[in-house]
Chains A and B, each alone.
Chain A
Amino acid sequence: MPSDRPQFSLPSRNNRRMQADLDEELSFHREMRVDDLKAAGHSQANAERMADDEIASAAAARRNILREDQGSEFTRRRLRLARETMEDVKHALRSLRLAPGMALLVIFTLALGLGANVAIVAAVRSVLLAPLPYANPDELVSVYRTPLNAPEQEDAVAPGSWQLYDQLESFSSVAAWMQGGRAMDADDGPVPLEVAFVSSNLFSTLGVQMLLGRSFRPGEDSTGAPSVVVLSHRTWSTHFGSDSTVIGRQVLLGNNPVEIVGVSPRGFSLPGRSHELYTPLQRDALLANPELAQKRRFLRLVARLSDGTGYERAAAELQGAAAREALDWPEAHEGFTAQIRPVRETVRGGVRTPLLMLLGASTLVLLIACANVAGVLLARAIVRRRELAIRSALGAGRGRLTRQLLAESAVLAGLGGAAGIALAYAATAGLRVLTNGMMPPETTISLDGSTVLVSLGVVLISGALAGAVPALTAAGATMRTSLMSGRGDSADGSRQRARAALVMVQTAMAVILLVGAGLLTRTLVALNQVDLGYQVDGVLVFRVSPPFDRYPDAEAQSAFFDELHVRIGALQGVQAVGHTGIAPLNGPPTSSLAIDGRPAPGARLPEVNLGVVSDDYFGAMGIPLIRGRVFGPGDVGDAPSVVIVNDALARRYFPEGDAIGSRIRLGPDESAAWRTIVGVVGDTREAGADAPAAPMAYESSRQLPWGSAELVVRASGDPLSLVPAVRSVVRDMDDALPLLGVRALSDVLSGTLAPRRTPMVLLLAFAGIALVLASVGLYGITAYHVAARTREIGVRVALGAARGSVLGLVVRQGLKATVPGLVAGLIGAAFLSRLLGVLLYGVQPLDAITYVAVALLLLAVSLAALVVPARRALRIDPLVALRSE
């Protein structure tokens, strides 16, 4: 019956149908007209002709009518779809309110899975996929020196090598930079800054436009050129208040006036390291002494490939040049070659593996979450059989029912997705803090709109899909069976098997994550147990650099440091003071080692670590003296030259135990005096816990003054609490000396472990989530089994089955899903853990302890998840059970 109330509007007509209707209507009109005309006395032929004339205009209008009818029909159909969707959503919300526990579980599960995943995707996007702050970054390569027998090592390059490589055809330009620290008088007072000394072509090689002012001009990297600096964006905003008139201003840098000529753009850093200030190095001074230009290696090189030059060709040409060098300067270069690698890898190589590992892990978590949701929805579909059957019997079409079920899961997915995005924002902020020590410089993890949209889309689709299967089977099966049978028809059986499969897959994925987390945890434990050979806790480190113009010689330098030691040593809470050229965990300088009376083993001398330390350094750092003595005040410049070696050096080069009294020479200068070994001290891991202790030689700072030293102060309490007192001591002695790089050694150590700890913490979190989700899934399926078998259990109990056998029934049922999942997970982990390779230390990918522990943990958690349903099974009263159906 036609009516204007939209709920009962005509069923939609398709286009062909509308056309047929209209044609029929018009032909009816024509016939009626013909009849009338005939009745008025016209002949049949006349009447038809007259009617056709009248109709002719209508035939032309026919197309218009049809088009407009069809247009409005389309609109109406869309409106109805929108209205029905709204109804579905409303209905879904209503029915979810009736099952708040289930709804919250699903939303929470999705939010966890999605939040974790989106945050990691955001990190991957921000760190791995964001553009590098250079023009055409694919043409940029880092050039480094590497031992032929240890190609993974990336060493700094000598100035002479730089000159040579700069002439190669493969590179359109080769820029160099080196690390330095200076104090600068900024607008807000003197500040210590990380300075990069760079070649004048550095910015042009990287293809970076200054935010303000200009970069360096050719020739500005030679002695005598006016002193100029480029500020980093952060320095400019922190210390100069983002003042755009800084260009041209003079500031004092290490007591020298320099002119600010530019400000680098926001987000710019040199490959792999950020700096606060850039100033030209002095190219000609570096090259002045041809021998030192080959032997002193401290430059980092970055090169731009010439047009059309591939990596292989450039590497081959570079290695040819390195081979020539080795012939020309065997004592400097023999046994070494040069290598390139894309700047992209220099910047991001270190974080790619952990980030991709975490991406994989968080994806597994999301999959587990989806499996859980699918399991819950399957269970719900079973529970709602009767409701659906009744609605279907009352005339709801199968399509409509399916759509309503889909709407319900889509609403759940939407709510879960929204909660997940909120969680992802929080997680991203947390990730930013957590990954502080491991991310490339100048990268910020942020959640951008497209990531959010894409993941929301993914969760909506996957949520709807997770609901689709149960919805389809439920809507189909219900009509036939549900009204007739009580419970447990065959469709239920297959749904239960589907749930068991889901639990199995979840378990397997959780096991993989647990194994990964376990291996990383074992790595960190192993690293924390490593004996570094020196004390880390309570040690304060900072650098002071008494300039040679005011402390010109060894005596003045030693006098300054002796006084400093006395004053700092007198401070409350200070246990010991010493100093060294470069504090541990920064990577020590190396030096060649020659032994008196022994021919060099091959053309090239062995390299050992070199330390230049004060008398009390070993005591302050807790490095044990094994034999002989440490340095004393008598080891001054004109006293006999002495040296102390570590145990590793003594054992390797003096296996007879004859180290003390032997004479060695450090460094390439053959005219330098031989030094007598006076002591052997314990080994130290200078580069961090994961690098083995290397042979090391120590010279006395009295005999080799550096003009710069790192003070190590051992405190009885928190080392950083000493900073104000120490700072005022230094100011009292020389108010132009800043404290540079003030840090607690334990923080430095913790920083070196950050690239391992952060992935471990995250993976542990993911594994924990996975374990919880998998156990919830297991709980759900077991609880259902117990409920479904109430009657059977009742019969068993009535027939005298022992509690043990009932318990066994339930536990067996649960383990049926868990154990295959566990086995599959262990096998999967055995394959996947190999990918963790570089992240592991002191533990094998197939570490038995980890695998066994994971298996036990999983079984324990699974049994815990079985306890509640199992107890319910034990409480079943046979009489009630038998009567129940």
Chain B
Amino acid sequence: MKRSPSDLLQGSVEMLILRALAWQTMHGYAIARWIASRTDDVLSVETAALYQALHRLERRGLVAASWGVSENNRRAKYYELTQAGRHALRAESETWRLYASAVARVLDPA
């Protein structure tokens, strides 16, 4: 499977979102916060990229959206993982791990 850098970026954002949603239903802002906190702010997702990815995942049926009420009592759009999303997350994580370890072996051939 060949990937261009932007694909990689896109693919990794999507994977991170799926990963975030694997735990719980979240709105977009919470997903961004979750990613930032889980990577100790190493990875932060551009707001534009985040929502583009979310909508793309929704169109592909990997996440489903519904309107709910947020922790501060505001109407917010919540995303949850669908069955298809769970399968995708498993497959993507596997690919990502292979990729990451390959990159690591190249950069750090110990």
Contacts and interface: CB of A to CB of B under 8 A. Distances in A.
Given A65-B55, A69-B59, A1 B47 contact: no
A58 B32 CA distance: 13
B84 interface: yes
A872 interface: no
Interface stretch (B14-22, B68-76, B98-106): B68-76
Contacts of B50: 58
A834 B51 CA distance: 77
A61 B28 contact: no
B48 A60 contact: yes
Contacts of A3: 64, 82
B83 A24 contact: no
A57 interface: yes
Nearest to B28: A29
Given A26-B51, A54-B47, A64-B52, A4 B82 contact: yes
A4 B47 CA distance: 25
A58 B47 contact: yes
B46 interface: yes
Given A3-B82, A4-B84, A32-B29, A61 B77 contact: no
B47 A57 contact: yes
A2 B84 CA distance: 13
A25 interface: yes
A21 B76 CA distance: 10
Interface in A22-46: 22, 24-26, 28-29, 31-33, 35-36
Nearest to B82: A4
Contact of A25 (B28, B52, B85): B28
B47 A28 contact: no
A68 interface: yes
Given A2-B66, A57-B46, A28 B51 contact: no
A72 interface: yes
Given A21-B77, A25-B77, A29-B28, A4 B59 contact: no
A24 B51 CA distance: 12
Contact of B59 (A21, A24, A58, A72): A72
A69 B77 contact: no
Contacts of A527: none
A811 interface: no
Interface string B9-50: 000000000000000000111001100000000000011111
A815 interface: no
Nearest to B62: A4
Contacts of B61: 4
B27 A28 contact: yes
B48 A61 contact: yes
Contacts of B72: 32, 35
Given A4-B83, A69-B59, A28 B76 contact: yes
A3 B47 CA distance: 26
Residues of A in contact with B, size category: 20 to 34
Interface string A3-19: 11000000000000000
Contacts of A58: 46-48, 50-51
A154 B64 CA distance: 84
Interface residues of B, number: 30
Nearest to B55: A65
Nearest to A75: B59
| Residue from A22, A57, A61, A64 whose CB has the most chain B CB atoms within 10 Å | A61
Contacts of A861: none
Contacts of B74: 28, 31
Contact of B51 (A32, A36, A65): A65
Nearest to B78: A2
B90 interface: no
Contacts of A21: 77
A21 B79 CA distance: 13
Contacts of B48: 57-58, 60-61
A55 interface: yes
A1 B55 CA distance: 18
B82 A25 contact: no
A55 B56 contact: no
Contacts of B59: 68-69, 72
Nearest to B60: A72
B52 A65 contact: yes
A26 B83 CA distance: 26
A802 to B, nearest CB: 74
Contact of B75 (A28, A32, A54, A57): A28
Nearest to A4: B82
Contacts of B64: 2-4
Nearest to B56: A68
Contacts of B70: 28, 32
Interface in A428-471: none
A29 B29 contact: yes
A6 to B, nearest CB: 8
Interface string A45-68: 000000000110110110011001
A44 to B, nearest CB: 16
A1 B25 CA distance: 13
Contacts of B46: 57-58
A1 B80 CA distance: 11
A32 B29 CA distance: 7
B77 to A, nearest CB: 5
A24 B27 CA distance: 12
B22 to A, nearest CB: 15
Contacts of A1: 66
A64 to B, nearest CB: 7
B47 A25 contact: no
Nearest to B79: A2
B74 to A, nearest CB: 6
Contacts of A24: 75, 77
Contacts of A2: 64-66, 80
A55 B77 CA distance: 17
Nearest to B33: A36
Contacts of A57: 46-48
Contacts of B76: 25, 28
B72 to A, nearest CB: 7
A493 to B, nearest CB: 50
Contacts of A31: 74
Nearest to B46: A57
A709 to B, nearest CB: 91
Contacts of A22: 51, 55
| Residue from A32, A33, A64, A72 whose CB has the most chain B CB atoms within 10 Å | A32
B36 to A, nearest CB: 10
Nearest to B47: A58
Contact of B29 (A33, A60, A64, A68): A33
Interface string A543-569: 000000000000000000000000000
| Residue from B29, B47, B66 whose CB has the most chain A CB atoms within 10 Å | B47
A36 B70 CA distance: 14
A65 B53 CA distance: 9
Nearest to A69: B55
Interface in A52-110: 54-55, 57-58, 60-61, 64-65, 68-69, 72
Contacts of B77: 21, 24-25, 28
Contacts of B84: 4
Contacts of B56: 68
Nearest to B50: A58
26 contacts: A2-B66, A3-B82, A4-B64, A4-B82, A4-B85, A22-B55, A24-B75, A24-B77, A25-B27, A25-B51, A28-B27, A28-B28, A28-B29, A28-B75, A28-B76, A32-B70, A35-B72, A55-B47, A57-B47, A58-B46, A58-B47, A64-B52, A65-B52, A68-B55, A68-B59, A69-B59
The 9 closest A-B pairs by CB, nearest first: A2-B64, A4-B82, A61-B48, A57-B48, A32-B29, A58-B47, A58-B48, A72-B59, A2-B66
Given A24-B75, A57-B46, 16 more contacts: A2-B64, A2-B80, A4-B85, A22-B55, A26-B51, A28-B27, A28-B74, A29-B29, A29-B47, A29-B51, A31-B74, A33-B29, A36-B33, A60-B48, A61-B51, A65-B55
